[in-house]
Amino acid sequence: MKYKGRRGSANVEDRRGMGGKTLVGGGISGLIIVLIITFMGGNPGEILNNLGATGTDQNVPYEQTEEEKELAEFVSVVLADTEEVWTNLFAKEGMTYKEPKLVLYSGSVQSACGVAGSAVGPFYCPGDQKLYIDLSFYQELQNKFQAPGDFAMAYVIAHEVGHHVQTLLGTSGQVNELQQRLSKEEFNKYSVMLELQADYYAGVWAHHAQGMDLLEEGDLEEALTAASAVGDDTIQKRAQGYVVPDSFTHGTSKQRKNWFYKGFEFGTIEDGNTFEGTGIR
Protein backbone atom coordinates (compact mmCIF):
# COMPACT_ATOMS: atom_id res chain seq x y z
CA MET A 1 0.00 0.00 0.00
CA LYS A 2 1.25 3.46 -0.84
CA TYR A 3 1.61 5.30 2.47
CA LYS A 4 5.05 6.93 2.58
CA GLY A 5 4.89 10.71 2.90
CA ARG A 6 1.11 10.76 3.26
CA ARG A 7 -1.05 12.34 5.95
CA GLY A 8 -1.46 10.49 9.21
CA SER A 9 -4.42 10.70 11.56
CA ALA A 10 -4.59 13.11 14.47
CA ASN A 11 -6.61 10.49 16.37
CA VAL A 12 -3.77 8.15 17.35
CA GLU A 13 -3.17 7.84 21.09
CA ASP A 14 0.20 6.31 21.91
CA ARG A 15 0.19 4.51 25.28
CA ARG A 16 3.14 2.24 24.62
CA GLY A 17 5.30 1.88 27.69
CA MET A 18 2.56 3.18 29.97
CA GLY A 19 2.00 -0.26 31.44
CA GLY A 20 -1.39 -1.01 32.92
CA LYS A 21 -2.52 -3.90 35.02
CA THR A 22 -1.20 -7.38 34.49
CA LEU A 23 -3.64 -9.95 33.14
CA VAL A 24 -3.71 -13.09 35.25
CA GLY A 25 -5.78 -16.23 35.54
CA GLY A 26 -6.74 -18.80 32.97
CA GLY A 27 -3.17 -19.63 31.96
CA ILE A 28 -2.18 -20.27 28.35
CA SER A 29 -5.46 -22.06 27.60
CA GLY A 30 -7.38 -19.09 28.92
CA LEU A 31 -5.50 -16.71 26.64
CA ILE A 32 -6.20 -18.99 23.67
CA ILE A 33 -9.91 -18.86 24.47
CA VAL A 34 -9.78 -15.07 24.71
CA LEU A 35 -7.99 -14.88 21.37
CA ILE A 36 -10.50 -17.15 19.64
CA ILE A 37 -13.57 -15.40 21.01
CA THR A 38 -12.50 -11.76 20.81
CA PHE A 39 -10.04 -11.74 17.93
CA MET A 40 -10.67 -8.76 15.70
CA GLY A 41 -13.69 -7.07 17.06
CA GLY A 42 -15.15 -9.10 19.88
CA ASN A 43 -16.05 -7.71 23.29
CA PRO A 44 -13.11 -8.54 25.58
CA GLY A 45 -14.58 -6.91 28.66
CA GLU A 46 -16.85 -9.78 29.67
CA ILE A 47 -14.19 -12.44 29.17
CA LEU A 48 -11.40 -10.42 30.76
CA ASN A 49 -13.50 -9.90 33.86
CA ASN A 50 -13.81 -13.66 34.17
CA LEU A 51 -10.06 -14.13 33.85
CA GLY A 52 -9.31 -11.35 36.29
CA ALA A 53 -6.67 -8.62 36.37
CA THR A 54 -4.30 -7.46 39.03
CA GLY A 55 -1.12 -5.48 39.49
CA THR A 56 -0.27 -1.82 39.63
CA ASP A 57 -0.05 0.83 36.97
CA GLN A 58 3.47 1.56 35.90
CA ASN A 59 5.19 3.78 33.39
CA VAL A 60 8.12 2.27 31.58
CA PRO A 61 10.06 4.32 29.00
CA TYR A 62 9.27 2.83 25.63
CA GLU A 63 11.91 2.80 22.94
CA GLN A 64 10.46 1.76 19.64
CA THR A 65 12.47 0.02 16.95
CA GLU A 66 12.70 1.40 13.44
CA GLU A 67 10.25 -1.29 12.32
CA GLU A 68 7.75 -0.24 15.01
CA LYS A 69 8.17 3.41 14.08
CA GLU A 70 7.41 2.62 10.45
CA LEU A 71 4.46 0.43 11.39
CA ALA A 72 3.03 3.14 13.66
CA GLU A 73 3.28 5.55 10.74
CA PHE A 74 1.51 3.06 8.50
CA VAL A 75 -1.30 2.51 11.02
CA SER A 76 -1.80 6.26 11.33
CA VAL A 77 -2.06 6.70 7.56
CA VAL A 78 -4.55 3.84 7.23
CA LEU A 79 -6.69 5.35 10.00
CA ALA A 80 -6.61 8.71 8.22
CA ASP A 81 -7.79 7.02 5.02
CA THR A 82 -10.70 5.36 6.82
CA GLU A 83 -11.66 8.74 8.25
CA GLU A 84 -11.82 10.24 4.76
CA VAL A 85 -13.77 7.34 3.27
CA TRP A 86 -16.36 7.04 6.04
CA THR A 87 -16.79 10.81 6.40
CA ASN A 88 -17.72 10.97 2.70
CA LEU A 89 -19.99 7.91 2.82
CA PHE A 90 -21.85 9.16 5.88
CA ALA A 91 -22.24 12.61 4.31
CA LYS A 92 -23.89 11.02 1.25
CA GLU A 93 -26.46 9.49 3.60
CA GLY A 94 -27.05 12.81 5.37
CA MET A 95 -25.14 11.71 8.48
CA THR A 96 -22.03 12.89 10.31
CA TYR A 97 -19.17 10.50 10.89
CA LYS A 98 -17.58 10.68 14.33
CA GLU A 99 -13.92 9.70 14.06
CA PRO A 100 -12.72 7.05 16.52
CA LYS A 101 -9.45 7.11 18.44
CA LEU A 102 -6.83 4.44 17.86
CA VAL A 103 -4.76 3.46 20.88
CA LEU A 104 -1.31 1.96 20.43
CA TYR A 105 -0.24 -0.03 23.46
CA SER A 106 2.38 -2.53 24.53
CA GLY A 107 1.71 -5.53 26.73
CA SER A 108 -1.60 -4.56 28.30
CA VAL A 109 -4.07 -1.68 28.25
CA GLN A 110 -7.03 -0.33 30.18
CA SER A 111 -10.15 0.36 28.11
CA ALA A 112 -13.82 0.97 28.91
CA CYS A 113 -14.28 -2.74 28.16
CA GLY A 114 -11.77 -3.80 30.82
CA VAL A 115 -8.08 -4.61 30.97
CA ALA A 116 -6.73 -6.35 27.87
CA GLY A 117 -3.43 -8.06 27.21
CA SER A 118 -1.84 -8.26 23.78
CA ALA A 119 -2.97 -11.92 23.54
CA VAL A 120 -6.50 -10.61 22.96
CA GLY A 121 -5.44 -9.21 19.61
CA PRO A 122 -6.68 -5.93 18.10
CA PHE A 123 -10.14 -4.94 19.31
CA TYR A 124 -12.72 -2.17 19.28
CA CYS A 125 -14.39 -1.04 22.49
CA PRO A 126 -17.83 0.56 21.93
CA GLY A 127 -17.77 1.89 25.49
CA ASP A 128 -15.14 4.51 24.63
CA GLN A 129 -15.32 4.21 20.83
CA LYS A 130 -11.63 3.43 20.54
CA LEU A 131 -9.58 0.88 18.61
CA TYR A 132 -6.78 -0.86 20.52
CA ILE A 133 -3.74 -2.37 18.82
CA ASP A 134 -0.45 -3.78 20.08
CA LEU A 135 1.85 -3.48 17.06
CA SER A 136 3.47 -6.80 17.94
CA PHE A 137 0.36 -8.33 16.40
CA TYR A 138 1.84 -7.54 12.99
CA GLN A 139 4.46 -10.24 13.55
CA GLU A 140 1.82 -12.63 14.84
CA LEU A 141 -0.26 -12.02 11.75
CA GLN A 142 2.71 -12.95 9.57
CA ASN A 143 4.10 -15.86 11.56
CA LYS A 144 1.17 -17.48 13.36
CA PHE A 145 -1.62 -16.74 10.91
CA GLN A 146 0.52 -16.91 7.78
CA ALA A 147 -0.93 -13.64 6.52
CA PRO A 148 2.02 -11.40 5.62
CA GLY A 149 2.00 -7.96 4.07
CA ASP A 150 1.13 -4.41 5.10
CA PHE A 151 -2.33 -4.61 3.57
CA ALA A 152 -3.14 -7.59 5.79
CA MET A 153 -2.61 -5.23 8.74
CA ALA A 154 -4.63 -2.56 6.95
CA TYR A 155 -7.51 -5.05 6.75
CA VAL A 156 -7.29 -5.58 10.52
CA ILE A 157 -7.55 -1.84 11.17
CA ALA A 158 -10.36 -1.40 8.65
CA HIS A 159 -12.29 -4.27 10.27
CA GLU A 160 -12.09 -2.63 13.70
CA VAL A 161 -13.19 0.68 12.16
CA GLY A 162 -16.08 -1.31 10.69
CA HIS A 163 -17.20 -2.05 14.25
CA HIS A 164 -17.12 1.67 14.96
CA VAL A 165 -19.33 2.26 11.93
CA GLN A 166 -21.76 -0.34 13.32
CA THR A 167 -21.80 1.52 16.65
CA LEU A 168 -22.59 4.83 14.95
CA LEU A 169 -25.32 3.26 12.81
CA GLY A 170 -26.92 1.58 15.82
CA THR A 171 -26.36 -1.96 14.57
CA SER A 172 -24.15 -2.99 17.49
CA GLY A 173 -26.73 -1.75 19.98
CA GLN A 174 -29.48 -3.80 18.35
CA VAL A 175 -27.36 -6.94 18.46
CA ASN A 176 -26.25 -6.40 22.06
CA GLU A 177 -29.87 -6.14 23.18
CA LEU A 178 -30.43 -9.69 21.98
CA GLN A 179 -27.72 -11.10 24.23
CA GLN A 180 -29.92 -10.86 27.31
CA ARG A 181 -32.73 -13.01 25.88
CA LEU A 182 -31.03 -15.53 23.63
CA SER A 183 -29.05 -18.64 24.44
CA LYS A 184 -25.32 -18.50 23.84
CA GLU A 185 -25.64 -20.66 20.71
CA GLU A 186 -28.45 -18.51 19.31
CA PHE A 187 -26.65 -15.28 20.04
CA ASN A 188 -23.48 -16.58 18.38
CA LYS A 189 -25.33 -16.52 15.06
CA TYR A 190 -25.91 -12.77 15.43
CA SER A 191 -22.32 -12.27 16.54
CA VAL A 192 -21.19 -13.92 13.30
CA MET A 193 -23.45 -11.60 11.29
CA LEU A 194 -21.98 -8.59 13.11
CA GLU A 195 -18.41 -9.67 12.40
CA LEU A 196 -19.08 -10.46 8.76
CA GLN A 197 -20.59 -7.01 8.32
CA ALA A 198 -17.42 -5.49 9.80
CA ASP A 199 -15.48 -7.51 7.21
CA TYR A 200 -17.78 -6.10 4.52
CA TYR A 201 -17.12 -2.55 5.77
CA ALA A 202 -13.38 -3.27 5.65
CA GLY A 203 -13.88 -4.20 2.02
CA VAL A 204 -15.81 -0.96 1.45
CA TRP A 205 -12.78 0.98 2.66
CA ALA A 206 -10.49 -1.06 0.39
CA HIS A 207 -12.79 -0.30 -2.55
CA HIS A 208 -12.37 3.44 -2.04
CA ALA A 209 -8.66 3.12 -1.27
CA GLN A 210 -8.28 1.52 -4.67
CA GLY A 211 -10.23 4.42 -6.18
CA MET A 212 -7.71 6.80 -4.59
CA ASP A 213 -4.89 4.81 -6.24
CA LEU A 214 -3.46 3.70 -2.91
CA LEU A 215 -3.32 -0.04 -3.55
CA GLU A 216 -0.29 -1.80 -4.95
CA GLU A 217 -0.04 -5.12 -6.73
CA GLY A 218 -0.80 -7.96 -4.35
CA ASP A 219 -2.55 -5.82 -1.71
CA LEU A 220 -6.01 -7.28 -2.30
CA GLU A 221 -4.63 -10.81 -2.07
CA GLU A 222 -2.95 -9.94 1.26
CA ALA A 223 -6.25 -8.77 2.72
CA LEU A 224 -8.14 -11.82 1.45
CA THR A 225 -5.49 -14.11 2.91
CA ALA A 226 -5.79 -12.37 6.27
CA ALA A 227 -9.60 -12.57 6.23
CA SER A 228 -9.40 -16.28 5.48
CA ALA A 229 -6.72 -16.90 8.12
CA VAL A 230 -8.88 -15.57 10.96
CA GLY A 231 -12.00 -17.61 10.27
CA ASP A 232 -13.41 -19.44 13.30
CA ASP A 233 -12.96 -22.82 11.65
CA THR A 234 -9.30 -22.15 10.81
CA ILE A 235 -8.49 -20.76 14.27
CA GLN A 236 -10.22 -23.64 16.06
CA LYS A 237 -8.47 -26.23 13.94
CA ARG A 238 -5.14 -24.61 14.76
CA ALA A 239 -5.87 -24.35 18.49
CA GLN A 240 -7.66 -27.62 19.21
CA GLY A 241 -7.58 -29.75 16.08
CA TYR A 242 -11.34 -29.70 15.41
CA VAL A 243 -14.18 -27.21 14.90
CA VAL A 244 -17.37 -26.55 16.88
CA PRO A 245 -19.74 -24.64 14.56
CA ASP A 246 -22.18 -23.72 17.35
CA SER A 247 -19.37 -21.79 19.04
CA PHE A 248 -18.48 -19.72 15.97
CA THR A 249 -18.62 -15.98 16.74
CA HIS A 250 -16.88 -14.44 13.71
CA GLY A 251 -17.67 -16.69 10.74
CA THR A 252 -15.79 -19.25 8.69
CA SER A 253 -12.75 -18.42 6.61
CA LYS A 254 -14.85 -18.62 3.45
CA GLN A 255 -17.53 -16.31 4.84
CA ARG A 256 -15.05 -13.70 6.05
CA LYS A 257 -13.18 -13.72 2.76
CA ASN A 258 -16.40 -13.52 0.72
CA TRP A 259 -17.91 -10.64 2.68
CA PHE A 260 -14.70 -8.61 2.54
CA TYR A 261 -14.58 -9.11 -1.21
CA LYS A 262 -18.24 -8.14 -1.58
CA GLY A 263 -17.49 -4.86 0.19
CA PHE A 264 -14.52 -4.37 -2.10
CA GLU A 265 -16.76 -4.88 -5.13
CA PHE A 266 -19.71 -2.70 -4.10
CA GLY A 267 -18.17 0.01 -1.91
CA THR A 268 -21.53 1.01 -0.37
CA ILE A 269 -23.12 0.90 3.07
CA GLU A 270 -26.47 -0.52 1.97
CA ASP A 271 -25.16 -3.66 0.26
CA GLY A 272 -23.61 -5.01 3.46
CA ASN A 273 -26.75 -6.35 5.14
CA THR A 274 -25.51 -9.58 6.69
CA PHE A 275 -28.62 -9.55 8.92
CA GLU A 276 -31.12 -10.13 6.14
CA GLY A 277 -34.40 -11.50 7.44
CA THR A 278 -33.69 -10.63 11.09
CA GLY A 279 -34.97 -7.05 11.21
CA ILE A 280 -31.47 -5.75 11.99
CA ARG A 281 -29.33 -3.76 9.60
Q: Which residue has the higher pLDDT, 21 or 153?
A: 153
pLDDT at 164 over 80: yes
On average, the pLDDT of the chain sits at: 87
pLDDT at 63 over 70: yes
Report the distance separating Cα 100 and Cα 111, nearest Å.
Answer: 14
> What is the DSSP code (8-state) at residue 14?
E
Residue 281: pLDDT band with limits 50, 70, 90: confident
CA atoms within 13 A on the CB side of 225: 18
- Rounded to an integer, the average pLDDT of 1-7 is 91
Residue 35: pLDDT band with limits 50, 70, 90: very low
pLDDT digits (tens, 9 = 90+) for 206-235: 999 999 999 999 999 999 999 999 999 999
pLDDT digits (tens, 9 = 90+) for 234-273: 999 999 999 999 999 999 999 999 999 999 999 999 999 9
pLDDT digits (tens, 9 = 90+) for 120-132: 999 999 999 999 9
CA dihedral for 36, 42, 45, 50, sign (positive or negative): negative
Sequence-distant (≥ 6) Cβ neighbours of residue 225 within 8 angstroms: 146, 147, 149, 152
CA dihedral for 96, 227, 69, 63, sign (positive or negative): positive
